[in-house]
Structure 1
Amino acid sequence: MMKSLTRALPMLVVLGTLAGAAPVTYTVVANPTLNLMTAESSTVVENIVARTGEVSGTLSFDTATRAGSGKVTVNGSSIKTGIAQRDNHMRSDAWLNFDKTPGIVFETTAVKHVEGDQYDVSGKLTLNGVTRPVTSRATVKLTPASDATRAAGAKGDVLAVTTAFKVKLSEYDVTNARIPNQVSDTLAISLKFIASSK
């Protein structure tokens, strides 16, 4: 009986820890070299890749239930395409209107664990003041705090998040005289960032 109890004790401790686990809040690390959003437009005339590292927000993640939620904002005014004149046009009300509404906001409505580090994420994307539903597959990796994570500017445990989805600009009341010939109505968005628990 004593031997059985001794063998079972470590497992009971683990189960007790998991049962007592609670969601932890993670804040996106404010380091543009660690975070990246890209938006790609491809047409027969021109391919455009726009980039920014200005990502902010908070996430909640429960390691026991693999449940989570979050709200992330990308600063649209900081997006660069490599051509200053095009960037100015992109920020204006003649295109993406970032001068007036710079925030590109994604807020989750449902997160479902698939397998491993893979999750199906549903949420609301707000662009140009218009909010519409978006779904994507996300990779979420949890790394305990270490010298390496602290050197990267994260004080606590780290969540690394990567996701990609497509956005149809016309659904967000975005118009442009160059659509659809020079600029695509559909942008391929990819987003990766790290968030720290401290």
Structure 2
Amino acid sequence: MKRPILLGLLTLALPAAAAAPVTYTVVTAATSLNLMTAESQTSVENFTGRTSKVSGSLSYDAAARTGTGTVSVDGASISTGNGLRDTHMKSADWLNFDKTPAVTFKTTSVKLVSGDKYAVNGTLTMNGVTRSVTSTATVKLTPASAATASAGLKGNVLAVSTSFPVKLSDYGVKNSRIGGQVSDTLTISLKFVASSGG
């Protein structure tokens, strides 16, 4: 009689023990580790916008291999290497970053594919418009160590990277240069680190 009771108690206890989501905060000071790029390729002109101003937080359960999160990029800080182009991109005629600088991605579902790869569904909000986005993300967990501490990272560390297409016209961005000098579809790539130690 004791063995079935003990097994029953263990069965009840295991899910509770396994459910241990941990909160990770994007390390905003890690400017060399955080990067968002937006790449435009056309037959007329190619350019890439870059910024390291990434913020947000994630909840990750290492046992269940799933999580949630919200990450924002400061669109007003994106630089393409051309000051005039950057000024135009921030204006109301383009991406409207002067008025709504935040580009925010929020997960709706995260599912393990294999290894460190996850299928991620979520919403992207830009220029006051929210659309559904699907991507594959790589999420690597590194336990706190002397190496992470020497890099200035506190606690356990998540390194996240993903890439997905964004169609500007879906976000109310209309300009005569789109389809000529600027592609209507940009390839957005994002990588950042987040730590459990704040």
Normalised by the length of structure 2, the TM-score is 0.90
- 150-159 or 41-50, larger mean C-alpha shift: 150-159
1:176-195 alignment to 2 at 5 Å? 176-195=175-194
Distance 1:18 1:164 in 2: 34
| Equivalent in the alignment of 2:53 | 54
| Equivalent in the alignment of 1:133 | 132
Work out whether residues 71 and 106 of structure 1, in 8 Å CA contact, stay in contact via their aligned partners in 2: yes
Q: CA deviation at 1:20?
A: 4.0
Q: Does 1:22 align with 2:20?
A: yes
| Equivalent in the alignment of 1:121 | 120
In structure 1, list runs of 5 or more residues that go unmatched: 1-11
| Equivalent in the alignment of 1:4 | none
| Equivalent in the alignment of 1:86 | 85
| Equivalent in the alignment of 2:152 | 153
1:103–1:33: structure 2 CA closer, same or farther, 3 Å change rule? Answer: same
Q: CA deviation at 1:67?
A: 1.2
Q: CA deviation at 1:150?
A: 1.6
Distance 2:37 2:171 in 1: 18
Q: Give the letter for the 1:57 counterpart.
A: G
Q: Give the letter for the 1:79 counterpart.
A: I
Distance 1:136 1:20 in 2: 27
| Equivalent in the alignment of 2:6 | none
Work out whether residues 18 and 64 of structure 2, in 8 Å CA contact, stay in contact via their aligned partners in 1: no
How large is the RMSD of aligned CA atoms in angstroms? 1.6
Q: How many residues align?
A: 185
Q: Does 1:45 align with 2:44?
A: yes
Q: Does 1:99 align with 2:108?
A: no
Q: CA deviation at 1:16?
A: 5.5
Distance 1:119 1:107 in 2: 15
Q: Give the letter for the 2:155 counterpart.
A: G
Distance 1:92 1:165 in 2: 24
SS across alignment from 1:88: helix
Work out whether residues 19 and 64 of structure 1, in 8 Å CA contact, stay in contact via their aligned partners in 2: no
Q: CA deviation at 1:21?
A: 4.4
Q: Give the letter for the 1:143 counterpart.
A: T
In structure 2, list runs of 5 or more residues that go unmatched: 1-9
Distance 1:136 1:168 in 2: 14
Q: Give the letter for the 2:61 counterpart.
A: D
Q: Deviations over 1:111-150 (max 9, x none)?
A: 0001110100000000101000000000000001112212
Work out whether residues 48 and 81 of structure 1, in 8 Å CA contact, stay in contact via their aligned partners in 2: yes
| Equivalent in the alignment of 1:5 | none
% identical equivalent positions: 65
SS across alignment from 2:64: coil
1:16–1:132: structure 2 CA closer, same or farther, 3 Å change rule? Answer: same
Work out whether residues 72 and 105 of structure 1, in 8 Å CA contact, stay in contact via their aligned partners in 2: yes
